[in-house]
Structures are given as C-alpha cells and as structure tokens.
Amino acid sequence: MKKKVSRILAIIMSWALISAVPAAAADVVPEASDKTASSEVTKLVIWGHQEEVWNDNYKKIADDFMAENPDIEISFEFFPYDDFEAKVQTSLISKNSDCDIYEMWGGWGIDYAPTGCLDPIADEVAEEIRAEAFPSTYGAMEYDGKIYALPLEFNIECGGMVVNLHLLGDDPVPTTWDELVEAAKKGTVRDGDMFNVRGFDFVGWDGVAYTFAEMIMSQGASYFNEDGTFNVTSEEAKKAFEALADLVIGEEPVTDLEGLTTAGALENFQKLYTDQALFVPHGPWVIADGLTTFGLEYGTDFDYVALPWFGDEVAFPAETGWCFSINAASEHKEAANRFLDYLFSDEVLMENNVACGQIPSKKSVATSEEYLEKFPYAKPLVDILDKASFIGFFNTDRFKEVIDNTFVDYCTGVYESSDAALADMEEKLNGIL
C-alpha cells in the first residue's frame, strides 16, 4: 500500500540500521556537477516524495548516471507525502511542464494513463518491461497497448506473516491454515470482550481485502467473472468470507474490528510489536517498524514467515506499486527515457530496491541469490512472486473500502446473512468499474 513509504525504509536495517526522517518542507536538490551552463546540456527535473533514504539513493543513482551521460543534468524536488500526492495530481490534470519525471504510485495510473498527461515509455524499454518484469508491477500503468511508467518494485501484501516470538514461545510456527487458526485461538488472550492479545490480527485497511481475495484465489476460483465484472457471490467467496468472519464473531474469536473501526488505534503489526498480537499477515515493509520504531531484534523478538494458504493453491492478487513516469508535457522525453532505461538495468535496480527496502519488479533480480543475501527478509516471498495476478484495472482504494465496510457491517449485524452481505458487496464493487 502506498502509505507504507514512511516505514518501509528500515527493512534492511538489521544490517545497516538506517532510519528515514522526512523533512518539513519541499526540498529542491540540484545534483552536483562539474558541467557549466551550456545549451548542449539537457536538464531533467524529477519530483518525488520526501523519504530521506529513498531521496539519497535516487540522487546517488542520478550522480552515477550523469557521470556516464555528461549531456544530461538531473535535479530533484522532494515534497512531504500528503502535499506530494496532491501536487502530482494537480500537475497531471493541468498538463503543465513543471517537471519531466514523476515518482508515481501505480494506482494513480488507473486515472491518468488514459488522459494523455503521461508519455508512453519508449518502445524498446516497454518491451524489456513486458519480458522481464512481473505483470502486476506495471498492470495499472498499461493502457491501450502502451506502458506509462517504469516499475520500481513488486508491491506485495499477501504470502507473508509477522510472528511475535515471545508470545509463540516453544510452539511451532503454523504451516497450514488449520494450524494457523488453532494456534491463533490458543494464543488469544481476552478479558471479557477486551483483547489483551489477538491471535491472528488480519483486520486492517489492506488485511481484510487482501486476505479475502487471496482466500478465494487459493481455492482455485476468481473474484472476477469472464466478462471482467466482479464475482464475490460464488461458493468459494462465501466460504472465505464466513471463515474470516468466524475469526471475529465466532465462538472463539481471535481478533476484533478495532483496526477498521477505531480512529487512532495501533495498526495490527504495531500491536504485534507491543505484545498485543501473535500473528499478523502483512507485506515485508512492516519489519522496519519492528527494527527501528520499536527497537526489536529480528529473529529474537519477531520473525517474518510464509503465511499459510487457505486453499490448496498458491495464488494471490498484487497491485502496482511505485514507478517513474514521464510527463507528456516534458520537452526532454528522449533524455528522460535514457535515465529510466539506466534505472531498469539489473545492477541499478538491485541497488535501488535494497536501499529502499523493496522487492524488485524485475524477475531475474528479485529471485537472484545476490538479492536474498542483501535482503534476507524477502525469502518467504520470492518463490511465490510468479503466482501473483494483477489485482485488476480499477481504483484499489475503493475496492478495499467496499470490502472492509461490508465486512464490518456483516460482523456487526447489519446484514441478515452472508449471502445478503456478499450480494451487496458485489453490486458495490461492480459500481467502481
């Protein structure tokens, strides 16, 4: 999810113990250069969000690129995230030429790739992306046969689980869904209706929607019909939905709805890091909080392991994450494409992903021994990346909102049955297409 950016960067910090501290205002960062002003030098401006480690790494990559390409000069402008999203979208709508390259969250491509405000990636680079990148990493940025961004990462929220090792004690890590449910029930500690320890805390903005979708897919089914409309009223969807709800409102609940209903509540992985949760399904970026914010030790206080699948198949959805896109109004598209081509090389992509705490978008890099040596936390995930399907060409925030709200309403008695809840969910989901 895009909100992960303030936490993700310390994910490799058990090696380096780096902490990202964003600045308070926009940073304009011209790159150091030995070049003097010249009409022969093309100047590229790149916009990004403030995140110290990411920003420093982008600048290092740009410095290396400029050393090899003295006819191009790159400068960056970094903005606080909340301001950055609005600024980029305003620029895209107005189609101005304030910058040449945008750092983009993939989901924005759904709204803007069809409008003509982004320039298609050069054909030869696009061919390389299609051949070498995981499809979900650029799915939201592909429109009418063209790709409108260079994918920087594989954004994954399924397949991994954080474990509180102190609460687990000598018990084994569950490897099947039934074992997970039983271990979660055993590990849950309640005082009446209050949870002191949640056994399996999947309730959160990403958690409910992604877990529900994965549970459908791992049964060999789809949440789509053949015509591209949503289908969440199948027997597989009903089985998944009722199994999830049972973990909240069944005879032995293992968590509650606080993660979706209580403003200001700790996120589920934060509860785990404060001994209030045993298992939490999440993407690997949450490891950063354990290492830095909470000062915990990976492998001693917590672990990151494979999440058991609900069904017999390994299958899950993934949405497009962070990318670089070229402004269609830029006067320097050729130079911009040269920089993106450089960024997609194996060595540079590896450098960027390791520094930024990401899983690479490129298959050969993500599954390489070198990457795992530098980024060992990804080990539970790299073998399943090719089992992901692009989540779909729709607004993923609205997708999650519909599923989350329906789940909460069902668990609080708004619907008379799961059939009624899923029928309403399906109608609302089809309304976002």
Per-residue pLDDT, 5:
46
Q: State the Cα–Cα distance between residues 207 and 249, nearest whole angstrom.
A: 17
Q: Are residues 148 and 174 in the same domain?
A: no
Which tokens belong to 316? 């899950």
Q: Are residues 205 and 325 in the same domain?
A: no
Q: Are residues 272 and 324 in the same domain?
A: no
Q: Do 328 and 117 form a contact (C-beta atoms < 8 A)? A: yes
pLDDT tens, residue by residue, 231-257: 999 999 999 999 999 999 999 999 999
Least confident of 15-19, 83-87, 388-392: 15-19
Q: Do 10 and 41 form a contact (C-beta atoms < 8 A)? A: no
Q: Are residues 196 and 248 in the same domain?
A: yes
User: 54 or 135, which is more confident?
Assistant: 135
Which tokens belong to 115? 């409008």
Q: State the Cα–Cα distance between residues 279 and 188, nearest whole angstrom.
A: 10
Measured at the CA of 357, the angle between CA 352 and CA 271, to 5 degrees, comes to 165
Q: Do 200 and 243 form a contact (C-beta atoms < 8 A)? A: no
Per-residue pLDDT, 210:
97
Q: Do 79 and 47 form a contact (C-beta atoms < 8 A)? A: yes
Per-residue pLDDT, 53:
82
Per-residue pLDDT, 51:
87
Mean pLDDT of 150-173: 96
Average pLDDT, the chain: 90
Q: State the Cα–Cα distance between residues 349 and 375, nearest whole angstrom.
A: 13
* Residue 42, H or E segment: strand 42-49
Judged by DSSP in three states, 238 sits in helix
Per-residue pLDDT, 104:
93
Per-residue pLDDT, 82:
83
Q: State the Cα–Cα distance between residues 192 and 206, nearest whole angstrom.
A: 28
Q: Do 381 and 309 form a contact (C-beta atoms < 8 A)? A: no
Q: State the Cα–Cα distance between residues 175 and 169, nearest whole angstrom.
A: 16
**Is pLDDT at 9 greater than 60 in this prediction?**
no
Q: Are residues 41 and 164 in the same domain?
A: no
Q: Are residues 177 and 312 in the same domain?
A: yes
Q: State the Cα–Cα distance between residues 131 and 317, nearest whole angstrom.
A: 20
Mean pLDDT of 317-339: 96
Q: State the Cα–Cα distance between residues 302 and 237, nearest whole angstrom.
A: 32
Q: Are residues 412 and 276 in the same domain?
A: yes
Domain span at residue 233? 160-317+394-430
Q: State the Cα–Cα distance between residues 39 and 151, nearest whole angstrom.
A: 31
418: confidence class by pLDDT, cuts 50, 70, 90: very high
* Residue 79, H or E segment: strand 72-79
Q: Do 209 and 399 form a contact (C-beta atoms < 8 A)? A: yes
Per-residue pLDDT, 95:
87
**Is pLDDT at 28 greater than 70 in this prediction?**
no
* CB neighbour list of residue 296: distance below 8 Å, 6 or more residues apart: 273, 290, 302
Could you identify the residue written with the tokens 């997708």?
Answer: 399
Dihedral of alpha carbons 214, 215, 219, 223, sign = negative
Q: Do 390 and 224 form a contact (C-beta atoms < 8 A)? A: no
pLDDT tens, residue by residue, 258-290: 999 998 899 999 999 999 999 999 988 888 789
Which tokens belong to 254? 């293992």
Q: Are residues 297 and 409 in the same domain?
A: yes
Per-residue pLDDT, 271:
97
**Is pLDDT at 33 greater than 70 in this prediction?**
no
Q: State the Cα–Cα distance between residues 137 and 131, nearest whole angstrom.
A: 12
Q: Are residues 17 and 98 in the same domain?
A: yes
Per-residue pLDDT, 20:
37
Question: How many structural domains does the chain have?
Answer: 2
Least confident of 1-5, 283-287, 349-353, 399-403: 1-5
**Is pLDDT at 213 greater than 50 in this prediction?**
yes
Report the CATH number that the domain containing residue 280 is assigned in CATH: 3.40.190.10
Per-residue pLDDT, 355:
84
pLDDT tens, residue by residue, 345-394: 999 999 998 888 789 999 999 999 999 999 898 999 999 999 999 999 99
Q: Beta strands of 82-187 (E only): which ranges?
A: 101-105, 118-119, 142-143, 146-147, 150-151, 160-164
26: confidence class by pLDDT, cuts 50, 70, 90: low
Which tokens belong to 54? 């990411």
Dihedral of alpha carbons 317, 322, 326, 327, sign = positive
Q: Are residues 250 and 298 in the same domain?
A: yes
Burial classification of residue 143, based on how many CB atoms lie within 10 Å of its CB (0-12 exposed, 13-18 middle, 19 or more buried): middle
Q: Do 43 and 70 form a contact (C-beta atoms < 8 A)? A: no
Per-residue pLDDT, 22:
40
Closest CA to 154 of 169, 180, 132: 132
Q: Are residues 133 and 248 in the same domain?
A: no
Q: Are residues 239 and 127 in the same domain?
A: no
Per-residue pLDDT, 267:
94
Measured at the CA of 185, the angle between CA 181 and CA 190, to 5 degrees, comes to 150
Q: State the Cα–Cα distance between residues 166 and 275, nearest whole angstrom.
A: 8
- From residue 179, give the alpha-carbon distance in Å to each of 175, 363, 413: 7, 32, 29
**Is pLDDT at 10 greater than 80 in this prediction?**
no
13: confidence class by pLDDT, cuts 50, 70, 90: very low
Per-residue pLDDT, 39:
57
Dihedral of alpha carbons 406, 412, 414, 418, sign = positive
Q: State the Cα–Cα distance between residues 160 and 176, nearest whole angstrom.
A: 13
Q: State the Cα–Cα distance between residues 304 and 369, nearest whole angstrom.
A: 19
